[in-house]
Amino acid sequence: MMRTFVSTQSDAAAVGDLRAWSEQQLIAAAKSGRRAPFGELCERHRKRISCVTRRIIRNREDAEDAAQECFLNAFVHLKDFDGRSQFATWLTRIAINASLMKLRKNRGAREVPMDDSNPSSEPVAQREFRHHAPDPEESCSLRERKRIVKSAISGLRPRARNVVELIHLEERSIRETAQILGISTGAVKARMFQAKIALHRMPLLQSVGS
């Protein structure tokens, strides 16, 4: 799966034994557009990234797709890596975002349209709608509130946003969130507290609560 970036055997021979290269050397070479060095970077971090995606996405195939998407995005945006954080940390953030995006896409695909004409399910759906669903005005209001909240969350700093998305949007526990992000449960709670303060200060959410 991760061999997408590995060049031909002659190319590999031209750059020597990439396994002996330091990570900094590989990054510098990959930034110049050379695929073989980036392929070696993928191999070095493949296990870590696969663990991250599998912790977020319980489906093995979808987790592998998210891992591949992570490496593709990393290759495209490698020029943006400035070295202020470790490469593994930068790559992990991309893996988390790719995994969350995969979950959102899967959740959207599972939604059943209200005008589903399947005769076997239509009567049940109609009864559920009549007895339990909110009226059209309330439904519109709920959708708008969700849209505003998601928009506010997207405006958080990445560290806080990842915690909020995992806990509130993906319904992960504090312990699971800590394992996924590779931080302590105390750090998760601290980031969640900071996120709540930031969200309460946002004009968007102030208008929702009024």
Q: Contact, 67 vs 20, CB < 8 A?
A: no
Predicted TM-score (pTM) of this structure: 0.55
Per-residue pLDDT, 124: 38
Q: Contact, 102 vs 70, CB < 8 A?
A: no
CA 44-46-47 angle, to 5 degrees, is 100
Per-residue pLDDT, 171: 79
136-204 has which fold? Answer: Arc Repressor Mutant, subunit A (1.10.10)
CA separation, residue 94 to residues 61, 112, 152, 188 (Å): 18, 30, 20, 18
CA separation, residue 125 to residues 108, 132, 143, 161, 174 (Å): 18, 10, 20, 35, 35
- Cα 167 from Cα 29, distance rounded (Å): 38
Per-residue pLDDT, 176: 86
Q: Give the DSSP letter of residue 156.
A: S
Question: Class of the 1-111 domain?
Answer: mainly alpha
Per-residue pLDDT, 110: 57
Across 97-106, b (16+ Cβ under 10 Å) vs e yields bbbbebbeee
Domain boundaries, the chain: 1-111, 136-204
Q: What is the pLDDT along the chain (210 residues), one digit of tens a residue?
A: 444 454 444 444 444 588 899 999 999 999 988 889 999 999 999 999 999 999 888 888 999 999 999 999 999 899 999 888 889 989 999 999 899 988 888 776 655 444 444 444 444 344 433 444 455 555 565 666 666 667 777 778 888 888 888 887 777 888 888 888 888 888 888 888 888 878 777 665 555 444
Q: Contact, 6 vs 12, CB < 8 A?
A: yes
